[in-house]
Chains A and B, each alone.
Chain A
Amino acid sequence: MSDLESFRAETRAWLEANCPAEMREPAQGEDDAYWGGRNATFQSEAQKAWFEACRDKGYTVPAWPREYGGAGLSPPEAKILREEMARINARSPLSSFGIWMLGPALLKFGTEEQKRKYLNEIARGEIRWCQGYSEPGSGSDLVSLQTFGEDKGDHWVVNGQKIWTSYADKADWIFCLVRTDKTNKYQGITFMLFDMASPGVSTKPILLISGNSPFCETFFDDVKVPKDQFVGEINRGWDVAKYLLGHEREMISGADNSERGAGIGAMLKRQAGEMDPVLRAELAMFDVDALAFSAMGEKFLDEVKVGKAHPAQPNMMKYAGTELNKRRHELVMAAGGSAALEWDSEESRGGSAARSWLRTKANSIEGGTSEVMLNVIAKRILELPGA
């Protein structure tokens, strides 16, 4: 047996022993996931057991080095773990912007000291992070941001406002883009990290069409940030942000979850019973696109690992993945019929179908709109002339 084959066998046995049955059912939405942090609570014993087993094994961040809280898996091993988890529909043990976004940026730009501290905290789910990028007026046009950090020698004093800060009201720390030089649009932004409990930070949830408030407005009023809490170089935060946006887009596109979106026709048939032939046809066309996109996701990740992917390829994945996800939820609603409309009945699983459907409408807006993604593809991949 090759090393990889025995790794697969071990992994399968480990998952069998450690992943509780309840954690092999699909999550009903973002609220159903474990997000970690100082004030975290588990929704069930199974969720707690599954998280702790993964944390102790380094499986919250399997590909990170061991000294930073990971399992130090090689790319082929990490792929096997993903496949084996997908095989049993195992849920992700920990949902975290620290894992998806800040972690990769720290691995690339962080100092050794920052890596040891922050990455371990992220891997162990101890600190819940939020992201402070967008501002009122600076959505897709991010570099126009105005939040300003004034240099006070050993610290900055930060003033301004962020918007669409996901779960800012629940987060412990924020990674944040702050203008530190007003004269240079791109090279005047610093990537800062600070505690949301700092005096002067306040948040206000924004009620969305889904009835949820995952997003917040976040206000900084004379917030004192120690001068050593930045990543990369001062005034070169845009480099970090760009790198991190690539990861964010990859995450929103669902490229790391090759099963997502595939084969919903069969699932919906079970729920809906007899199916309108035109709906069946639309589902079939959707399944074609979803299965093809799964292959694209796999190809993309394989190419990223060996540096074959075009640097703007995450934009394509984000565009195609989010448009597909929106279409998926339109079909879920159509198949669900009147039952899917019920806002909080048993039948509708507490309105999760409708809430998820409404939530997906943000997919093609957050992390850069579909239109911005198409602009980037046109300019950077197809090299069409600029306006």
Chain B
Amino acid sequence: MPLYHDDDQTMLADTASQFMAEEGAIAKQLRHWRDRECKDGFGHALWKQMAEMGFTGILVPEADGGLGMGHVEAGIVLEEIGRNLTPSPFLTSSVIAASALGQASDDLRGRYLPGLIAGDSVFAVAIDEGAKHRPERIATRAEKSGNGFRLSGRKDFVVQGASADMIVVAARTSGAEDDADGVTLFAVPKDAAGLDHDAVRLVDSSMASHLTLDGVELDGDAVIGEVDGGREVLSRMIDAGRVGAAAEGVGVARGAMAMTVDYLKQRKQFGKLIGEFQALQHRAAHLYSEVEIARAVTIKAQQLLDAGAQNASLMASVAKAKVGKAASLAVKEGVQMHGGIGMTDEYDIGLYMKRDRALAEFLGDAHYHAGRVAELSGY
């Protein structure tokens, strides 16, 4: 498969680009909800509009009422979300949770997917336990209780956890904290007794929860996939999320870079456009190279995920790490090249820097993923 978008994908990109630039624009969404200190950090009306556009069900199989497309298509929407810093539950609901639900029972799919496709439901995922992403270790316990399970533990960085109708929780049904086996995924409804959110606003104005599970009782049918055998579903779900976060990061990087290059063409100092200075030209050209390379490997990872290829997980880490570095460079250069105005709240470039920091941390930063590349490569 060639590493560029085919005609259908290009059409989707045009549609998504126009939609996000109009409906998902920074002033209309991010600043709007931020300035109102919105408790969700995003607008439900936009989520509904995204459903009308067909975006919400991109990764949901046609048999379940979705579009049955792939990670390349989800990535197209995510790149536009990133470019416009559009706050939405798309990544957590339509990419990560949808990817787990795709492997769930008919009952769970029937219960949750229609709401997702319609833009009525929002999902979150609870993986991390601690400030850094370490999904290899899961301490949250799920003990057998009657016909079901009883969940106890604590989760961090549950993005949009307090707004979610359902949270996919990774818990341990057997074994020790760092065992690969013994992990099970559960679909936990928001009103489950014993589920408590400590919701906090993050640097990018998004909301994330510290989640406490204090003897949360679930029926056996809340299990996604196999009991004790959830590691593979979890890994696939996380890989989908990493590649999705990479795609959104590419959008953030491209958005910040476009803003900066545009500024270089307008701002005058010392009687010249600052874009005429070679010191800035070279840094901008280097940045362009890094962002292009990050975009290429993200598309590669999307295609490998869609093909179910053996090295998809390795390339997901390469993409997350590369985008982590490239997007961070884009926002740092963006603020620096904007000079004083780049430090003002009035100007959008700082918003790109904040979003990048949150995305970079989500599902593992560049250091984590470079380390994973080394491990998967045998050193």
Contacts and interface: CB of A to CB of B under 8 A. Distances in A.
Interface of A: 263, 265-266, 268-269, 275, 280-281, 283-285, 287-289, 291-293, 295-296, 298-300, 302-303, 305-306, 308, 316, 319-320, 371, 373-375, 377-379, 381-387
Task: Sort A-B residue pairs by CB-CB distance and give the 3 closest, nearest first.
Answer: A378-B281, A377-B285, A299-B3
Given A296-B297, A302-B2, A320-B289, A275 B281 contact: no
B273 A385 contact: yes
A251 to B, nearest CB: 18
B373 interface: yes
B300 A280 contact: no
Given A292-B318, A296-B292, A299-B299, A382 B377 contact: no
A10 to B, nearest CB: 21
Interface string B314-328: 110111011001000
A272 B79 CA distance: 41
15 contacts: A269-B379, A284-B370, A288-B321, A288-B322, A292-B319, A303-B4, A320-B289, A374-B286, A377-B285, A381-B285, A382-B261, A382-B284, A384-B261, A385-B275, A385-B276
A295 B317 CA distance: 13
Contact of A296 (B286, B296, B314): B296
A287 B296 contact: no
Given A298-B3, A382-B261, A374 B285 contact: yes
Instruction: Say what secondary structure dominates the interface of chain A.
Output: helix
Interface string B268-312: 000001011010111011101110111011011000000000000
Interface in B12-55: none
A283 B315 CA distance: 16
Contacts of A381: 285, 288
B289 A377 contact: yes
Contacts of A275: 379
Given A295-B296, A306-B2, A316-B288, A387 B278 contact: yes
B289 A319 contact: yes
B278 A281 contact: no
B250 to A, nearest CB: 12
B288 A387 contact: no
A284 to B, nearest CB: 4
Given A265-B379, A385-B275, A281 B288 contact: no
B373 A374 contact: no
A284 B374 contact: yes
A269 B378 CA distance: 9
A289 B322 contact: yes
A319 B314 CA distance: 26
Contacts of A283: 374, 379
Contacts of B319: 292
A285 B370 CA distance: 6
A302 B377 contact: no
Contacts of B275: 384-385
A375 B378 contact: no
A76 to B, nearest CB: 9
Contacts of A373: 285
A8 to B, nearest CB: 14
B377 A266 contact: yes
Contacts of B278: 375, 387
Given A378-B284, A382-B284, A287 B264 contact: no
Contacts of A374: 281-282, 285-286
Interface in B78-124: none
A265 B377 contact: yes
Contacts of B261: 382, 384
B134 interface: no
B266 to A, nearest CB: 10
A148 to B, nearest CB: 32
Contact of A308 (B4, B297, B300): B4
Contacts of B314: 291
A298 B377 CA distance: 21
A295 B276 contact: no
A293 B295 CA distance: 10
Nearest to A291: B318
A284 B373 contact: yes
Most buried by B among A266, A283, A384, A387: A384
B369 interface: yes
B4 A299 contact: yes
A381 B3 CA distance: 20
A266 B379 contact: yes
Given A284-B373, A384-B265, A387-B278, A378 B285 contact: yes
A277 to B, nearest CB: 10
A287 B321 CA distance: 10
A289 to B, nearest CB: 7
A293 to B, nearest CB: 6
A306 to B, nearest CB: 7
Most buried by B among A292, A303, A387: A292
A268 B321 CA distance: 21
A93 B84 CA distance: 49
Nearest to A75: B2
A213 B326 CA distance: 38
A289 B292 CA distance: 12
Given A265-B374, A308-B4, A384-B264, A291 B297 contact: yes
B370 A281 contact: yes
A292 B295 CA distance: 9
B371 interface: yes
Contacts of B379: 265-266, 268-269, 275, 280, 283
Interface in B321-379: 321-322, 325, 366-367, 369-371, 373-374, 377-379
